[in-house]
Amino acid sequence: MFTKKLTTIISTAVLIVAVLCILIWHDKIQIALAYGWDSFPTHSPQKDCSWTKDTFYKSGISFFLQSCRGSNIPWSYSEDSQGEILRTNEESRLLTFKVYEKEESRTPLAIMDEWYAKLSPDQKKLCSVQPVDEPVEYFKDGSQSTIERPHPTAHKTRYGIAITPQVIQDVSNKFGGLPTGTKYDFLCGPDVGSKFISYPPYFEFDDRSPSKYLFVGTLGNDDSVLVDLNSIRF
């Protein structure tokens, strides 16, 4: 009799815990059932937005994108015949993601040194290989910045070739802020450089895909890019 009661108590406790887990992690369970247990958005969507998963089969790239009720998404994403992911609006068509093949034994820094070697001598004086991950930015009210940036993420290593901090400081001192005109745009060249005021391109390496790496094109300094950059798989 005692054993039967104990079994009933344990079964009831397990059921209660299971129900609580379902209630607490309802959203993640729904996403996992739809997209897989190793594929989640890394932060909450903006107000009146929800996550959808985009998958592009030629390149093998997938990521979570916010779909927002009552407003137009500023960019649409498509894959061209070369497997490059483009973001498009009424005015622009920009390369956003591109997968490159690599030997599994080659390290991220070896790949970055190869890209850096393509720069001209003058460009090398102004630019360097730099890690690009940034800490998550929180405001005083505890909310998280909605501007998408690469943050430290399990499995991922990221580097860019960007203007050195000293050059940025020198230019900023000269103009008392941001420069005018286009003289200081693309100081690191057209392939890995960007406009002075833009976020530079970077390369992402994921230990779950050791024979590939990802190029992420230049991004705006606003919240118009609604891709969860830290959820990308390739």
Please write the tens of the pLDDT for every residue from 81-130: 999 999 998 888 999 999 999 999 999 999 999 999 999 999 999 999 99
172, HSE (Cβ side, Cα atoms, 13 Å): 10
Statement to judge: residues 189 and 111 lie in one domain: yes
Statement to judge: residues 49 and 63 lie in one domain: yes
Give me the number of domains the chain comprises. Answer: 2
Statement to judge: residues 16 and 115 lie in one domain: no
Closest CA to 229 of 142, 136, 165: 136
Statement to judge: residues 59 and 174 lie in one domain: yes
Q: In Å, what is the CA distance from 136 to each residue of 18, 149, 196, 198, 211? A: 32, 8, 23, 19, 29
Where is average pLDDT lowest: 1-10, 36-45, 54-63? 1-10
Statement to judge: residues 59 and 135 lie in one domain: yes
Band of pLDDT at residue 37, cut at 50, 70 and 90: low
Q: Which domain holds residue 24?
A: 1-37
